[in-house]
A and B are shown apart, each in its own frame.
Chain A
Amino acid sequence: MPTIIDIENLGLDAGAHLLIKHGMNKIPVGGELLVSGSAPGWEAQLSAWCRAQGHTLTFVDGKAHIIRSDIHAGRWRGATPTGHADAQQHGAVHEHPLASYGLAARGATVEAGTPESAFRLNQKHEVWTDNAAELYAQAVAAQWNPEQAIDWNAAFELDDEVEDAVAQVMTYMIENENAALVVPARFLGQLHPHFREVQALLAIQVADEARHIEVFTRRLRLRGREPMLSTAGGQASLKTLLDEADFSVAGFLLSVLGEGTFVSLLNFLHEHAPDPVTRQIARLAARDEARHVAFGMEHLLRRLNLEPEFRTRLVHAVEARNDALSGTSGLNEEVYDALILLAAGAFTPSAIATGYARVQALVTDMAEGRLGRLLRLGFEGKVAQRLAALHTRNFM
């Protein structure tokens, strides 16, 4: 008994082909589907549709008899499965996703002959983090709107010199955040979309940095200042981050060492900045940066677990960066002095003494933080100490 469907007065110029396809799915290749209809000219429309679809059509007693063709199955012969959407499933994330997966959603079936898209970062061990989805969810939940999260109208009065110091520190922070934005953004464009969770995490990290650049700029301009000084040494330090082509090494230098150090700086500003706006900004930015550090740490812990010898590569990277920066002066004098003044809040000997001590404590805190993270990554004590000490004097 052939399957029969009635498309009534619905034309194929108004969607009736969906009813026919639905009917067709219930019959085997070579099987027959009977269709009746009453829309004016539906026979002509059905003829055109069947011709394009490769089905054979005849009309008997006003009813269309369609013999299902197998041509459609041909498209999916040799198609490639690409894992599963849920990363927790067995075999979900491939070790080496192929260029021919292209831009397909992970888990999609990809037609043979799909053009290849070359993504340089296509090895799972080089980029993957098991809790990337979780970190991304945390990041989404922790997004903040600068307009609402910060009280830009909070009342404060600062001496001109102190305000200048804030502007100089903000200038420095923006420069650093530019690096922190560009580095993941570059990798994002090179990452195989198969690693969806890492892709999402990098994307939101870029968005975080864009927001930081916005709020630092806004604070800088709050009292009518323009950005201040940018040194060759500072930029040389950051450029070494931009030049690093390896995802893990860049993550190590930028997130684990650089942003980790930056978290200390932001906590310092949260505690000691002379005005409430800067303090609020620093608190929110520190929270984001801590997440970026967590991502870098989790990724490296996974990679080092799989490839313990990769530690040597990381050691060399720190040493090479230190060598490359040996001819530069490190943190610029203006920033260092600005931090002291900003922590002092006034031009009195006792205030300056306090500010100076606070900056010294900051530098110690930064070094201890770096050491702690290096130890957690499994570096042996002395090596960790040496590497922590070799970190750029520019902080990031």
Chain B
Amino acid sequence: MTPPIVMGAVAYAPKVVTIWEGFKDYFRRHNFEFDFILYSNYERQVEAQFNGTIDLAWNSPLAWVRADRMARARKQSVHAVAMRDTDCDLTSVLVVRSDSAFNEISSLRGKTIGFGAIDSPQANLIPLDHLRAQGLLAGRDYSARRFDVLGGKHGDHIGGERDAAQALMVGEIDAAWMIDGNHLAFSREGVLPAGATRIVARTGAYDHCNFTTSPGASEESVARFVELLMGMAWDDPEVRPLLELEGLKAWRSGRTSGYALLERAVEDEKFYDERGNILAHDYRY
């Protein structure tokens, strides 16, 4: 038996097991050996990309940034080889209660703004950066309240965003950050009653997860892996449930053009240094 390509994934929810077991089946049906290792956090996963444990990783955008920095520091390279259609061009929105007087970011001076987990690109790092670019610094111009849930999972579980949305509705905070899609999702769930909230700001577009190759991974195996991914069709009833669970309709080729905002945020918020070392002192994972 040819050795399998081994992928790392973070177990941010129980469905992760179902997803990757399903992928394993799919790859095996196509005579391609694939296995996966689950990590409890992205930091450990990215580190495993550099010690030969895994050939590639299903990385959060922040994990991509760290892997890229660690690779550059080692004079190596990592590549984003595939991503979901739904990973492209996300934005985060700053939401206030409809009956509040806040109409623009500047009106939130001196107020309390809710953020997601400390390591959430979409609900903490990019929003902090967005406010900084508008001249508002946490602690100086507004009070930041972080809804820190499950550190190390880079906000994948969206629990922090949901907690912030709930706190917004009960008046504990004045505004809350969330991914544009989660604003709709929380509305469907009833966490945010219809029409009860208003969007007052929106970040620039950024990309989300990607499959990141590890330095030294077999190019041939990675190419076959990507080829099979691209062959997963929404029309195929055996594959569709997996795509639905993973939240995509089609795989796309990887691109790295959508991580500039996060790169800047990581710098400005001093989350990692240029070698990928963790700087954030209150980060627990």
The answer to whether the Cβ of A74 comes within 8 Å of any Cβ in the partner chain is: yes
The answer to whether B249 touches A71 (Cβ under 8 A) is yes
Number of A-B residue pairs with CB-CB distance less than 8 Å in the complex they form: 77
Residues of B163-199 contacting chain A, CB below 8 A? 179-181, 183-184, 187, 192, 194-195, 197-199
The answer to whether B241 touches A44 (Cβ under 8 A) is no
Query: 17 pairs across A/B with beta carbons < 8 Å?
Result: A13-B195, A14-B194, A14-B195, A40-B200, A41-B202, A44-B199, A45-B180, A45-B199, A48-B90, A51-B88, A51-B90, A54-B85, A54-B249, A71-B249, A77-B235, A78-B237, A113-B238
The answer to whether the Cβ of A349 comes within 8 Å of any Cβ in the partner chain is: no
Complex interface: chain B residues within 8 A of A54 (CB): 85, 249-250
The answer to whether the Cβ of A75 comes within 8 Å of any Cβ in the partner chain is: yes
The answer to whether the Cβ of B157 comes within 8 Å of any Cβ in the partner chain is: no
Q: How far apart sit A71 and B89, CA to CA, in the bound complex (Å)?
A: 19
| A residues whose Cβ falls under 8 Å from a Cβ of B | 11-15, 40-41, 43-45, 47-49, 51-52, 54, 69, 71, 74-75, 77-78, 111-113
What 10 new A-B contacts, CB under 8 Å, besides A40-B199, A48-B91? Answer: A12-B187, A13-B194, A40-B200, A44-B183, A45-B183, A47-B91, A51-B88, A51-B89, A51-B90, A113-B241
The answer to whether A51 touches B202 (Cβ under 8 A) is no
The answer to whether the Cβ of B158 comes within 8 Å of any Cβ in the partner chain is: no
Complex interface: chain B residues within 8 A of A77 (CB): 235
Specify which of B86, B183, B202, B237 lies most central, judged by the most chain A CB atoms within 10 Å of its CB: B237
Number of residues in B with C-beta < 8 Å to the partner? Answer: 30
| B residues whose Cβ falls under 8 Å from a Cβ of A | 85-86, 88-91, 93, 179-181, 183-184, 187, 192, 194-195, 197-200, 202, 233-235, 237-238, 240-241, 249-250
A17 to chain B, nearest CB (A): 8
The answer to whether B195 touches A74 (Cβ under 8 A) is no
Identify which of B86, B192, B194, B241 contacts A15 (C-beta below 8 A): B194
Specify which of A14, A44, A45, A49 lies most central, judged by the most chain B CB atoms within 10 Å of its CB: A44
Beta-carbon nearest neighbor of B188 in chain A: A13
The answer to whether A40 touches B91 (Cβ under 8 A) is no
Q: How far apart sit A316 and B211, CA to CA, in the bound complex (Å)?
A: 67
Assuming the contacts A44-B202, A51-B89, asked whether A13 and B237 have C-beta atoms less than 8 A apart, the reply is: no
> Sorted from nearest, which 6 A-B pairs have the closest CB atoms?
A41-B199, A113-B237, A13-B187, A112-B237, A48-B180, A48-B181
Complex interface: chain B residues within 8 A of A74 (CB): 233-235, 240
Beta-carbon nearest neighbor of B241 in chain A: A113
B245 to chain A, nearest CB (A): 13
The answer to whether A48 touches B89 (Cβ under 8 A) is no
Complex interface: chain B residues within 8 A of A43 (CB): 202
Beta-carbon nearest neighbor of B98 in chain A: A40
Q: How far apart sit A278 and B163, CA to CA, in the bound complex (Å)?
A: 63
Q: How far apart sit A11 and B180, CA to CA, in the bound complex (Å)?
A: 12
B176 to chain A, nearest CB (A): 13
The answer to whether B237 touches A111 (Cβ under 8 A) is yes
The answer to whether B181 touches A14 (Cβ under 8 A) is no
Q: How far apart sit A44 and B195, CA to CA, in the bound complex (Å)?
A: 15
Specify which of A12, A40, A49, A71 lies most central, judged by the most chain B CB atoms within 10 Å of its CB: A40
Beta-carbon nearest neighbor of A17 in chain B: B184
Beta-carbon nearest neighbor of B244 in chain A: A75
Q: How far apart sit A47 and B192, CA to CA, in the bound complex (Å)?
A: 19
Complex interface: chain A residues within 8 A of B89 (CB): 47, 51
B180 to chain A, nearest CB (A): 4
Beta-carbon nearest neighbor of B103 in chain A: A40
A260 to chain B, nearest CB (A): 48
Complex interface: chain A residues within 8 A of B240 (CB): 74-75, 113
The answer to whether A48 touches B179 (Cβ under 8 A) is yes
Beta-carbon nearest neighbor of A49 in chain B: B184
The answer to whether A44 touches B93 (Cβ under 8 A) is yes
The answer to whether B85 touches A13 (Cβ under 8 A) is no
Complex interface: chain B residues within 8 A of A113 (CB): 237-238, 240-241
The answer to whether A52 touches B86 (Cβ under 8 A) is yes
Complex interface: chain B residues within 8 A of A112 (CB): 237
Complex interface: chain B residues within 8 A of A15 (CB): 194
A121 to chain B, nearest CB (A): 26
Complex interface: chain A residues within 8 A of B93 (CB): 41, 44
Q: How far apart sit A52 and B87, CA to CA, in the bound complex (Å)?
A: 10
Complex interface: chain B residues within 8 A of A44 (CB): 91, 93, 180, 183, 199, 202
Assuming the contacts A51-B89, A74-B233, asked whether A13 and B184 have C-beta atoms less than 8 A apart, the reply is: yes
Complex interface: chain A residues within 8 A of B249 (CB): 54, 69, 71
Complex interface: chain B residues within 8 A of A12 (CB): 184, 187
Q: How far apart sit A85 and B192, CA to CA, in the bound complex (Å)?
A: 39
Beta-carbon nearest neighbor of B192 in chain A: A13
Beta-carbon nearest neighbor of A53 in chain B: B249
A40 to chain B, nearest CB (A): 5
Complex interface: chain B residues within 8 A of A48 (CB): 90-91, 179-181, 183-184
B188 to chain A, nearest CB (A): 8
Beta-carbon nearest neighbor of A57 in chain B: B89
Q: How far apart sit A54 and B235, CA to CA, in the bound complex (Å)?
A: 13
